[in-house]
Amino acid sequence: MTNEQNQTLTIVGAGPIGCVLATLLARRGFVVEIYEKRADMRQVALGAGRSINLVLTRRGLRALERIGVREAVLELTVPVLGRMMHGLDASLAYQAYGKDPSECNYSVSRSRLNEFLLDAAEAAGVRIHFGHALIDADFDAQTLHFESDGQHKTVEAAVVIGCDGAPSGVRRALVEHEGFAENIAMMGSGYKELFFPPAPDGTYAMAGHALHIWPRGHHFLMGLANLDGSFTGTLYLPVEGPNSFESLQTPEHVKTFFERHYPDAIALLDNFTDEFLEHPMGQLGTVRVVPWHLGGRVLLVGDAAHGIVPFFGQGLNAGFEDCVVLDELFATGNALETIFETFSTQRKPHTDAIADLALENFVEMSEKVGDPGFLMRKKVEAILERELGDVYRSRYAMVMYSYIPYGVAFEIGQAQQEILATLTVGLSAPEHVDLVAARRLIAQRLEPLYARYEVDLGF
Q: How far apart are CA 212 and CA 208, in angstroms?
A: 9
- What is the per-residue pLDDT for 375? 87
Nearest C-alpha neighbor of 168 from the set 338, 13, 26, 333 = 13
Do 114 and 19 meet the contact criterion of CB atoms below 8 Å apart? yes
Q: 173 phi and psi, to 5 degrees?
A: -75, -35
Q: pLDDT tens digit string along 204-251?
A: 999 999 999 999 989 999 999 999 999 999 999 999 999 999 999 999
Mean pLDDT, residues 380-394: 96
What residues have CB less than 8 Å from 107, skipping those under 6 apart? Answer: 53, 54, 55, 77, 78, 79, 80, 211, 224, 225, 226, 232
Exposed/middle/buried for residue 339 (C-beta within 10 Å: 0-12, 13-18, 19+): buried
Exposed/middle/buried for residue 355 (C-beta within 10 Å: 0-12, 13-18, 19+): buried
| pLDDT band at residue 46 under the 50/70/90 scheme | low
Q: How far apart are CA 74 and CA 78, in angstroms?
A: 8
Residue 353 has pLDDT above 60, yes or no: yes
What is the overall mean pLDDT for the chain?
A: 95
Residue type, 15: G
- The helix/strand/coil state of 102 is coil
Do 26 and 126 meet the contact criterion of CB atoms below 8 Å apart? yes
| pLDDT band at residue 1 under the 50/70/90 scheme | very low
Q: Crossing angle of helices 372-387/435-445, nearest 10°?
A: 80
Ramachandran quadrant class, 241 (left: phi over 0; alpha: psi -120 to 50; beta: rest):
left
Do 196 and 269 meet the contact criterion of CB atoms below 8 Å apart? yes
Q: How far apart are CA 355 and CA 305, in angstroms?
A: 12
**Consecutive H or E run containing 111:** helix 110-123
Nearest C-alpha neighbor of 126 from the set 235, 18, 267, 205 = 18
Which CATH code is given to the segment(s) 3-78+108-184+285-362?
A: 3.50.50.60
Q: Enter the pTM of the model.
A: 0.95
Count of other CB atoms within 10 angstroms of residue 348 = 18
Residue 4 has pLDDT above 60, yes or no: no
Residue 3 has pLDDT above 50, yes or no: no
Sequence ranges of the domains in the chain: 3-78+108-184+285-362, 186-283, 371-453
- What is the per-residue pLDDT for 50? 57
Mean pLDDT, residues 363-377: 80
Do 137 and 159 meet the contact criterion of CB atoms below 8 Å apart? no
- The helix/strand/coil state of 140 is coil
- What is the per-residue pLDDT for 6? 75
- Lowest model confidence (mean pLDDT) among 95-99, 149-153, 274-278, 333-337: 95-99
Q: How far apart are CA 212 and CA 222, in angstroms?
A: 5
Nearest C-alpha neighbor of 397 from the set 322, 319, 321, 459 = 459
DSSP code string of 422-448: HHTTT-SSGGG--HHHHHHHHHHHTHH
Do 160 and 170 meet the contact criterion of CB atoms below 8 Å apart? yes
| pLDDT band at residue 2 under the 50/70/90 scheme | very low
Percentage of the chain surpassing pLDDT 90? 91
- What is the per-residue pLDDT for 45? 78
Residue 49 has pLDDT above 90, yes or no: no
284 or 367, greater pLDDT = 284
Q: pLDDT tens digit string along 168-196?
A: 999 999 999 999 999 999 999 999 999 99
Exposed/middle/buried for residue 3 (C-beta within 10 Å: 0-12, 13-18, 19+): middle
Cα 179 to chain centroid distance, Å, stands at: 29
Mean pLDDT, residues 370-385: 90
Q: How far apart are CA 47 and CA 230, in angstroms?
A: 18
DSSP code string of 14-69: -SHHHHHHHHHHHHTT-EEEEE-SS--TTTSPPPTT----EEE-HHHHHHHHHTT-
